[in-house]
């Protein structure tokens, strides 16, 4: 059963709604900006209305299936981990995109919202807001800010781990957090590399 639920989660995650919405308005997100076929790039190129729709659909990919499984008591404890990470994996390695999907930020928020009744996703949003505010105070150059976004996403997820531990969340959520951190580091690897090169010059 767990394998079936994991496959369902992966299939939900692999639907590239934001990319398809972009195509609907004749915008190929892979050819714009950083090439991310996700909701935030959609917002940037097609406006806030389609952007919000894309974010909502990507969020629901992680939120709805997991919430359903949890409400019916179909998954518990460590068995939650493979099911919870599967929508994120689906977004990152979508077969519809030749296994080169999005950065999985919105779906990450969806997964943690379902698991913790929004507590952890709100904490992550606050951490990201503080990091963004800090970057604005430092008046980071525009060309650096683009790469810094990826760094803040990864740093924010790293700091979220401290929150989980401080709040004594169960082990399976710590494991899920670690896997999530690895995936976000992978999806932002190019920005992290560029930022590292800039700081080493």
SS (H, E, C) 19-55: HHHHHHCCCCHHHCCCCCCCHHHHHHHHCHHHHHHHH
Q: Is 137 helix (H, G, I), strand (E, B) or coil?
A: helix
Q: Which residues contact 95 (CB under 8 A, 6 or more apart)?
A: 14
Mean pLDDT calculated for residue range 118-134:
96
d(CA 166, CA 182): 21
Of 200 and 186, which is predicted with more confidence? 186
pLDDT classification of 200: cutoffs 50, 70, 90: low
If one counts the domains in the chain, the total is 1
Place of tokens 């990091």: 131
Residue 141 pLDDT more than 70? no
Residue 144 pLDDT more than 80? no
Alpha helices in the chain (DSSP H): 2-14, 17-24, 39-46, 48-71, 80-92, 105-116, 119-137, 142-166, 171-187, 189-200
Token readout for 3 is 């394998």
d(CA 91, CA 100): 9
Q: Which residues contact 175 (CB under 8 A, 6 or more apart)?
A: 78, 81
d(CA 180, CA 60): 17
| Structural domain containing residue 142 | 2-200
pLDDT digits (tens, 9 = 90+) for 52-64: 999 999 999 999 9
Q: How many residues does the chain have?
A: 201
């Amino acid at each position: 059963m767990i394998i079936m639920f994991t496959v369902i989660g992966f299939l939900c995650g692999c639907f590239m709604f934001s990319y398809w919405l972009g195509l609907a308005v004749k915008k190929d997100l892979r050819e714009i900006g950083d090439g991310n076929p996700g909701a935030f790039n959609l917002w940037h190129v097609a406006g806030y209305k389609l952007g919000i729709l894309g974010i909502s659909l990507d969020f629901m990919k992680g939120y709805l299936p997991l919430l359903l499984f949890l409400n019916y008591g179909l998954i518990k404890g460590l068995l939650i981990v493979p099911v919870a990470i599967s929508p994120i994996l689906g977004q990152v390695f979508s077969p519809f995109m030749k296994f080169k999907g999005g950065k999985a930020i919105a779906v990450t928020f969806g997964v943690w919202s379902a698991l913790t009744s929004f507590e952890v996703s709100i904490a992550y949003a606050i951490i990201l807001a503080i990091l963004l505010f800090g970057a604005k105070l430092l008046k980071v150059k525009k060309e650096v800010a683009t790469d810094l976004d990826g760094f803040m996403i990864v740093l924010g997820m790293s700091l979220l781990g401290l929150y989980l531990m401080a709040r004594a969340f169960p082990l399976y959520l710590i494991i899920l957090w670690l896997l999530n951190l690895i995936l976000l580091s992978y999806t932002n690897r190019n920005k992290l590399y560029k930022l590292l090169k800039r700081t080493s010059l």
